[in-house]
Amino acid sequence: MARQTLQLRLTKGDVVARRYTVLKELGRGGAGAVYLATTVKKPPIPVAIKFLINPGDLPRFKRERKVMESVTSPYVVKLVDGGTHEGFPFIVMEYLSGGSLRDVLDARKRLPVKEAAWVMVMAIRGLRKASTVHRDLKPDNLLLTKTKEGAVRFLVGDSRNGTTVKVADFGLAKSRDPNTLNLTNSRHVMGTPIYMSPEQCRNTREVGVATDIYALGVILYELVTGRAPFDAESAYDIMTMHCNDPVEYPKGMDQRVQTVLGRCLAKKPEDRYRSLYTLERDLGAIAGVGEPEPDRSRWTWWVIGGGMLLFIAVAWILHDRLWLAISTLIGRIF
């Protein structure tokens, strides 16, 4: 089976599972390969097909598919299909022709404050909907749509006419529920060093929502300054800096952004934002897009709590009336 990781080489015109025609390879890594394809069924629709080529990563591959199947959000890459081709598991996703946020940074270096805040708001909306800890957030995993004019252009507060940010690659994701089996626990450090939190660098079991908040802080810092807060030649040096070095802020940085970054990039998880909701709220204020939608769980508890109070009140009233009726009846009889 190990040799099979080297054998998946599809070329233009190859048909996958009798449903997709390969156009070209988009990228390849140690665990998977991604191809641009179109549906065989007319009219042809472009899709991205991700193949697992390392059997050792099958649990993560399954986890990614499970997360994507459970999410319906304009800010998360949509899962279209899945299956097996010549022994290789694959998932089919919508194809986003706008590239990634990494491409934007390579081309523009940095973004205006409001634009950067809006980009982060869209990413956070996707993460909140997914209800998972991503653990590998970085510009490469934030994919982009193009506008009707075929350009990548962020229109603050308008993801319908402007470019939309969509979260991708949930291969390292874990449930936010501490009682859920974690398929990605291991003795190996997981993540991309430049965007890893101190607790990830130390490989502790404290990884949670605060870990994603730290990574979002790193991305925001990069969006507004054009560079990462910590960088070095070796991964070890970068991780050491995350754990020990203070963040340096350029002179003249927008004070609101610096305040948000201070809460995102705190060394201790408990000193960061407690939720993605509050982070989205503060970034939304900077972007000028208003308050975020409350977490579904918050509304659920309010509804349940309100329903229980109403039930108790009704039961109490009926209880009093019932005893009054019984007492009146007894009085008439005797």
Question: Which residues participate in catalysis according to the annotation?
Answer: 136
Query: Could you give the CA distance from residue 324 to residue 311 in angstroms, rounded to a whole number?
Result: 20
Query: Could you give the CA distance from residue 154 to residue 105 in angstroms, rounded to a whole number?
Result: 13
8 A C-beta contact, residue 52 and residue 31? yes
76 forms beta bridges with 167
Query: Could you give the CA distance from residue 299 to residue 295 in angstroms, rounded to a whole number?
Result: 7
Which stretch of DSSP H or E encloses residue 39? strand 32-39
Structure tokens at 3: 């040799």
Query: Could you give the CA distance from residue 110 to residue 220 in angstroms, rounded to a whole number?
Result: 10
Query: Could you give the CA distance from residue 132 to residue 122 in angstroms, rounded to a whole number?
Result: 16
Length of the chain: 334
Query: Could you give the CA distance from residue 292 to residue 274 in angstroms, rounded to a whole number?
Result: 15
- Tell whether the torsion through CA atoms of 193, 124, 296 and 64 is positive or negative: negative
Task: Kindly tell me the burial class for residue 19, based on how many C-beta atoms sit within 10 Å of its own C-beta (0-12, 13-18, 19 or more).
Answer: middle
Residues 312-332 as b/e (b if ≥16 CB within 10 A, e otherwise) read eeeeeeeeeeeeeeeeeeeee
Closest CA relative to residue 37, chosen from 95, 97, 98: 95
Residue at 71: amino acid letter = V
